Structure 1
């Protein structure tokens, strides 16, 4: 076993040191941190592009890395320096270097504590991530090389004693020691099971953490040195250093289901937060292999520094769970509840680009945009909700990262009935100022919207259910559609859509008769839409106008500047007569031809 460790150390010493690139802030996204043992630095890989975006100098011969749950700090063990480098992931800068035990190797972090295995002193250092100081040192087995954390325990692989030390993290004492395979190099924990990669045994030991015993031993590839478990706990991945491969284990059957060729000398392995990617550090190839977990194939090979060893994944700038303000949790609504809220983070800053809305089974119902000025979002389902209990889940999305879910439970009760619109009739022609009337029994208001559910107006409903509404400004000439939605304390009704066509007809001229001969003071009269204005032109020059009565009648004579009737010049005249309604002139006109004498 000592020979295996020594051979690694000799190989690392022969690698040239690469210069570090300047620190730069990480934009929101998923990242992989890779410790380059021979280059004395850390490569930061953007998981979206599979490219190195930063290189951070750390201590001598760094070996492993762990990232805090919130993605703000990375902790790197420096095996030759007997220290831990603390990296601020927002700036990619080392903010502290903390002395720990002799030859630190593995590191795991949870909450405000990090646990570091010290190979040279057969101990574990407990590191307070708030104060950046060592608060306890725990003796364990021989050559501790791996560590993983559960809620209440730390599991340490002792490569020199073929065992796992179980530490109670509340008291920081070893409570049990479990015998596993030959030379356990690394360990991962998921649920009630722990998995150890047994370097000299070419196997993985499966530990039932409830009873503290090995329940299965799974043969894998040659010299497994790293192990990681998918976020859903269904698969374990081991790097086989001498086999240049990764074994995929089905944790339900404890059987290898696939073996994936990777780079040269894979050491550590990490699974991305969403479980779709696996990353291996290839110590002899100076690369990282990126595996698509759906296809179990390598989709990218990323050059990094010298002799990469430790690898960890994280998400930077993950958005906060959205705040849903309506309906409130447990509310009773109508069949058309409107959902609204804000996607904001710390300090009220807008925290997302969009919000995904899913049903209780995880089926996507809709993705809505987030207003960037204040984080507001809203959604109204296209169709009614059935009566009964419902659950809707909201997930904020930014930079490809998804937040935790916000769950809203609500009950749909019978809401107001769909409003009835009696005037205008469906498809009717109206003037530019139509009055809409109808009934909405049981509703307090009627909301008027366009067909995209954008508000146009609203009106109160009388106790007998009657409502009427007229838009403050004239409608443009042409076809229109308006949506009416009844509202009461339970929510909204199904919509009632009304289509109508705004048309301003040309006036009807009854006199003078067409092609008639008149005197020089003829009277013009006829009909037009009630309360409109009739305008008169000759040779595109406006001669005057006349108001139309509520009965739709009008009359007019040519007048002069003083309001006195004015004689028409003897001869033939062609007068164009238009209707003007609310400032909008009719597109058509009536031409009257007569002869004055």
Structure 2
């Protein structure tokens, strides 16, 4: 009897936790956001957006969605309760990805068309500063200690290092071809870079800003040229890196300590970006050519559900 009660309580707690989370998927070709209940996998709303929406995140206070409307050259500020546009924030030309600052007061935006990083002051809703970077910037991240903002340059095959204390670019790290996404580990000691055309994920020692290891991928039955790493997310415990492999139509689960792949998970076509549940049990993968979102159980390394989205899902974020 007691075992049954404990099992019931566990199921109830899991359901309550999952039910509290909501997924938001940016649909690049559909010019929309798909809103999904994480517990039921039901689509609860579809919100129209500006043109070619890509990067997406939630404000620190949970009130707003920030969305890079690339074709409109703006970051859209959207009310999370209603889906209504609150403001078009000045972002520079063709915003791709962005990073919400650690304190939640700024957005650091990569502007592909004018090769710049734009910092938006969210309280003033104006540009704080802009810095020239390498050609075709896309991936952006801020270090956990707040010191660095890094920006990938797809054209120049480098990562730019910007010192926030001086608001200047002070260094660059050469990478494999077309770096598209960057993620710091939680301790701030490493930076992981997805080099799409290079087919690799490169790991940088932050102190020296040098590459210390290059990860390659080999999915059985999938040609090497289809390995196009893009999105990277770490589980909350920092033990697993979840990596989208693009046209390989798989997600790799990598053990961070040993830097080895523990599993490849088949998902939809042209998997782009990812989000991970707050409890670290589930990953969500946006499949750009399948118009779906894959729900991945990380313990079993299996897809447990597939959810229809709008056309061309690109980014996904999750909020309680």
Taking structure 1 as the reference length, the TM-score comes to 0.47
Select the residue among 214, 218, 228 that pairs with 2:211.
Answer: 214
Q: CA deviation at 1:93?
A: 2.2
Give the match's secondary structure for 2:72.
coil
Gaps of 5+ in 1: 1-27, 316-597
Matches within 5 A, 1:45-60: 45-60=36-51
Give the match's secondary structure for 2:283.
strand
Q: CA deviation at 1:68?
A: 2.3
Asked whether the 8 Å contact 1:154–1:168 carries over to 2, the reply is: yes
Matches within 5 A, 1:108-507: 108-110=99-101, 111-150=104-143, 151-152=145-146, 153-190=148-185, 191=187, 192-220=189-217, 222-315=227-320
Q: Deviations over 1:374-409 (max 9, x none)?
A: xxxxxxxxxxxxxxxxxxxxxxxxxxxxxxxxxxxx
Asked whether the 8 Å contact 2:27–2:310 carries over to 1, the reply is: yes
Take 2:286 and 2:134, find their aligned partners in 1: how far apart are those partners? 26
Take 1:46 and 1:127, find their aligned partners in 2: how far apart are those partners? 30
Asked whether the 8 Å contact 1:75–1:107 carries over to 2, the reply is: no
Q: CA deviation at 1:279?
A: 1.0
Q: Deviations over 1:97-148 (max 9, x none)?
A: 1232111100110220111101101111101111222211111111111111
- Tell me: higher relative CO, structure 1 or 2? Use CA pairs within 8 A at least 6 residues apart: 2
Q: CA deviation at 1:69?
A: 3.0
Give the match's secondary structure for 1:45.
strand
Take 1:103 and 1:39, find their aligned partners in 2: how far apart are those partners? 17
1:593 aligns with none
Give the match's secondary structure for 2:57.
strand
Asked whether the 8 Å contact 1:239–1:267 carries over to 2, the reply is: yes
Asked whether the 8 Å contact 2:294–2:307 carries over to 1, the reply is: yes
Q: Deviations over 1:243-272 (max 9, x none)?
A: 100011111011111110001111111222
1:106 aligns with 97
Take 1:215 and 1:282, find their aligned partners in 2: how far apart are those partners? 31
1:527 aligns with none
Q: Considering only CA atoms, is the larger Rg found in Structure 1 or Structure 2?
A: 1
Asked whether the 8 Å contact 2:90–2:120 carries over to 1, the reply is: no
Residues 313 and 206 (structure 1), Cα distance of their counterparts in 2 relative to 1, 3 Å cut? same
Select the residue among 24, 29, 33 that pairs with 1:38.
Answer: 29
Aligned residues: 288
RMSD: 1.4
Take 1:193 and 1:71, find their aligned partners in 2: how far apart are those partners? 28
Q: CA deviation at 1:51?
A: 1.6
Take 1:37 and 1:47, find their aligned partners in 2: how far apart are those partners? 21
Q: CA deviation at 1:298?
A: 0.7
Gaps of 5+ in 2: 1-18, 219-226
